[in-house]
Amino acid sequence: MLKNKPSSNSLKRGFTIVEMLIIAPIVILTIGAFVTVIVNMTGDVLATRSSNVLAYSIQDALNRIEDDVKLSTTFLEANNISLTGSHQGFDDNVANFANVDNGTNGNMLILNTLATTGNPLSPTSGLIYLTGQPNACGATQNQNTPMTMNVIYFVKNNTLWRRSIMPSNYATGLTVSCNTPWQQPSCAPGVADSFCKTQDVRLVDGINPSDFVVQYFNTADATAANTVAGNNAATPANRHIALQSTQTATATINITKTAAGRQISQSGTMRATRLDINASTIADVITPTTPATPAVTASFSVPNTANFTWPAVPGATSYTVNYNIAGGTYVNGSTGSAATSFSMTAANNQSVCVTLSAVNSAGTSSSFGSACMILPLWNSLQMSNNWTDYSDSFASAGYTKTSTGIIVLKGLVKNAVTPASNTIIGTLPAGYRPAEIYMFATSTIDTSARVDVRPDGAIIFNSGSSGGWLSLDGISFVPVGSPYAWTPLSLTNSWVNYNNGYSTAGYTKDSEGRVFTKGLIANGGTGQGAVFTTLPAGYRPSEYLHMPTTSNNLSDLVSVDTAGNLLTKSIAQNAYRSMQHRFYAASGYKGTWNNLTLLNGWTVYAGYATPQYIKGTDNIVTVKGLINSGTPGTIIAQLPVGYRPTKIMLLNGTCNLAYCRIDVYPDGNIYSRAGTSSVWTALEAVTFIAEQ
């Protein structure tokens, strides 16, 4: 019998609509709950992570502050380093910092700290010392004042920053300090200022100005804060005084912010004591003040140098020196130099004065240090080859440069042995030398001698009968580098320049109106009165002169007439003839000719130079004149006070076509000595520097 079987359609039955409506909300709620759990767990993780990062940031900032406090010399109510540039201030311009909250900027921690050669936490770093305060850099520099800087912690734009402020001259090397600091000035990120070498350190974000709290304590174990040190109602001066008595500071950072939808809060406090509690006065010392007035000392060094020195002025970074010579207008000699000495060359017997001021960033010393000195008239000639001074009655060997730039020698010297030809007597320094070899006639043992002066400064004994004594008196010349330009002379009558290093024929005129001729000539005609060259107008004497010279190592004579002709006279020699002469031009000269009163039967030789004397502004006395009829060995005349030497001057002259010797004494008496002649005696050889 057949039974009924279930159909296949009835076995495939699913959820009904009713069932779906019941199950779907359950599933959705389950998924939502799961997502909520996941989100909450993620938020907790993110908030915890943010809280941890914030805690670490706060702790890092407090550690940085603690290190700086320990290394600081004092706490400040405001930055004591002047702001350099226009972007180091709180406003990224020129606004100074203050340690108290003004209602907007919040509290700040302002530290005065020491500049160092490296990272201050490194054991190999050392302090930076200021040079000249008081010692120079070197072994004793650690006795100097150290360089300081400011480190400032402040809140701006909800960020805690650390800024470094350096002195304006921190990187000037040995001019200011003995080393260059490791520390560098900083500015806010993005600020362009050539002075700032780095950016401020960004410490903590999300902080309000009121969240940074600083307190100060007088001692490390004090529990009560110094209420004046951080009181915005106290005056800056009172806060400054209070801060100088504090040793310890606390810094507290409180931050509340939102992270992952949750409010997180972290806070931290550090307490640190300055390691050197005795260093609080360094900040006051470093605050720039105008330096004191330098104390100047003058001294002399050969050949003609005035030296001025002064001790380093504490706090001074440089000095300004002005000087004058011979009472002239002061001119600048040095500005901005840290050197503690200044030297100036001048002519012998001239005064040199300096005024000196000390300078630093605060300004210039309130007054000048000053000193003056008169350079000695004479420099002693250092002699060699057994040459020494003859005696105290005669002039000692010396040389000088007059205010007109003329070199003058003096001295009666002797030698224990008869010197060989070309023996060096002494050597003139640079600035006192001729450009070529100059040959001069002089005296030795009452006879003619020859002395050469070379471009290397050597003074050479070249010929003479004995080394018993030799006179350097009357030798003068225009040195190399002189402002007086030489003009070549045209030679006539077969005369030519000798050459071989000796001077060529030429002429010039100095500022006094004195004409100088030079040259060593040879091979010309030797007839009496023959012209060998002619000076142009303006370089001629007013009267006929007789100038002593040397020819072939013998005494000779050159005459100069009013037409400017230089004439051969005396001996008939032409192997060589020196032209080292000096006389006054007929006009345009300085000074006044004064008549000599002749004594002991001496009279004027008519038609030739009148016996007269004159003194230049450089005190060179010149005598001229042709005399006769007197008694040799007697006083010819007496020069007045102001025209006299301090020692006997022994001068080589020319008398009746031969050598003669004329002496001038400190009492002004002009004596006729060996070789003077009643036939005629020329006075043109008499020249010296008046000293009394």
Nearest to 147 by CA among 106, 187, 179, 194: 179
How many whole angstroms from its chain centre is CA 431?
22
**Quick check: 653 and 672 in contact, CB under 8 A?**
no
Res. 19: pLDDT tops 60? yes
Nearest to 322 by CA among 365, 353, 366, 292: 353
Please name the residue ranges forming H helices in 110-153. Answer: none
- DSSP label at 130? B
656: helix, coil or strand? coil
Structure tokens at 243: 């801060």
8: helix, coil or strand? helix
Question: Which residue spans within 102-197 are E strands per DSSP?
Answer: 109-114, 148-156, 159-165, 186-187
Nearest to 673 by CA among 690, 657, 649: 649
CA distance 575 to 586: 32
- Domain(s) labelled CATH 2.60.40.1830 in the chain stretch across 379-477
CA distance 433 to 454: 7
CA distance 640 to 304: 29
CA distance 451 to 60: 88
Q: What is the pLDDT of residues 100-135, one digit of tens each?
A: 988 889 999 999 999 999 998 888 888 988 887 778
Q: What is the pLDDT of residues 216-238, one digit of tens each?
A: 999 999 999 999 999 999 999 99
Q: What's the number of CA atoms in the CB half-sphere (13 Å) around residue 239?
A: 21
Q: Which residues of 329-354 are buried (b: 16+ CB within 10 A; e: fewer)?
A: eeeebbeeebebebebebbbbbebbb
CA distance 185 to 180: 13
CA distance 67 to 221: 19
**Quick check: 174 and 314 in contact, CB under 8 A?**
no
- Taking the CB of residue 215, how many other CB atoms lie within 10 A of it? 19
Strand partners, 545: 560
Omega cis (within 30) before 303: yes
CATH number of 297-374: 2.60.40.10
If pLDDT is split at 50, 70 and 90, which confidence band does 279 have?
low
pLDDT number for residue 466? 57
If pLDDT is split at 50, 70 and 90, which confidence band does 99 have?
very high
Structure tokens at 565: 């002709």
CA distance 115 to 145: 11
- DSSP label at 175? G
**Quick check: 69 and 216 in contact, CB under 8 A?**
no
If pLDDT is split at 50, 70 and 90, which confidence band does 641 have?
very high
pLDDT greater at residue 175 or residue 636: 636
Q: What is the DSSP string of 377-394?
A: S-EEP-B-TTEEE--TTB
Question: Measuring CA to CA, how many Å separate 251 from each of 66, 114, 259?
Answer: 9, 21, 25
pLDDT number for residue 327? 92
Strand 198-199 with 186-187, pairing: parallel
**Quick check: 86 and 95 in contact, CB under 8 A?**
no
Structure tokens at 559: 């005459």
pLDDT number for residue 54? 86
**Quick check: 372 and 298 in contact, CB under 8 A?**
yes
User: Mean pLDDT of all residues in the chain?
Assistant: 90
600: left (phi over 0), alpha (psi -120 to 50) or beta: left
Rg (CA), the chain: 48
Highest mean pLDDT among 47-51, 66-70, 512-516, 527-531: 512-516
CA distance 556 to 564: 19
**Quick check: 393 and 417 in contact, CB under 8 A?**
no
Nearest to 165 by CA among 175, 176, 152, 178: 152
277: helix, coil or strand? coil
Q: What's the number of CA atoms in the CB half-sphere (13 Å) around residue 637?
A: 24
Q: What is the pLDDT of residues 360-374, one digit of tens each?
A: 877 899 999 999 999
Q: What is the pLDDT of residues 423-436, one digit of tens each?
A: 999 999 999 999 99
Structure tokens at 539: 């370089």
Structure tokens at 277: 């509690």
User: Of all residues in the chain, what percent carry a pLDDT higher than 90?
Assistant: 68
**Quick check: 349 and 377 in contact, CB under 8 A?**
yes
- What is the amino acid identity at position 15? F
Q: What is the pLDDT of residues 35-92, one digit of tens each?
A: 666 656 655 666 677 788 888 899 999 999 999 999 998 999 999 888 876 789 998 8
Res. 22: pLDDT tops 80? no
Scan for tokens 């005056």, then name that residue. Answer: 235
pLDDT greater at residue 568 or residue 535: 535
Question: Measuring CA to CA, how many Å separate 576 from each of 90, 486, 572?
Answer: 87, 21, 11
Please compute the mean of the pLDDT values over residues 515-526 and round it to a whole number. Answer: 94
Q: What is the pLDDT of residues 143-180, one digit of tens each?
A: 888 889 999 999 999 999 999 999 888 887 767 788 88
Structure tokens at 606: 């008519």
Res. 675: pLDDT tops 90? yes
- Taking the CB of residue 127, how many other CB atoms lie within 10 A of it? 19
User: Of all residues in the chain, what percent carry a pLDDT higher than 70?
Assistant: 92
Question: Which residue spans within 416-551 are E strands per DSSP?
Answer: 423-427, 438-444, 447-453, 458-463, 470-471, 476-477, 487-488, 496-497, 506-509, 514-518, 520-522, 531-534, 545-551
- Domain(s) labelled CATH 2.60.40.10 in the chain stretch across 297-374
Q: Quick one: CA dihedral 566, 569, 573, 576, positive or negative? A: negative
Strand 565-568 with 531-534, pairing: antiparallel
Strand 148-156 with 109-114, pairing: antiparallel
Nearest to 411 by CA among 692, 646, 619, 653: 646
Res. 654: pLDDT tops 70? yes
Res. 270: pLDDT tops 80? yes
Structure tokens at 23: 């199950």
CATH number of 379-477: 2.60.40.1830
- Taking the CB of residue 485, how many other CB atoms lie within 10 A of it? 9
Q: Which residues fall within 8 angstroms of residue 93, CB to CB, at 6 or more apart?
A: 86, 87
Does the pTM of the predicted model rise above 0.95?
no
Res. 11: pLDDT tops 60? no
Q: What is the pLDDT of residues 465-492, one digit of tens each?
A: 656 799 999 999 999 999 999 999 999 9
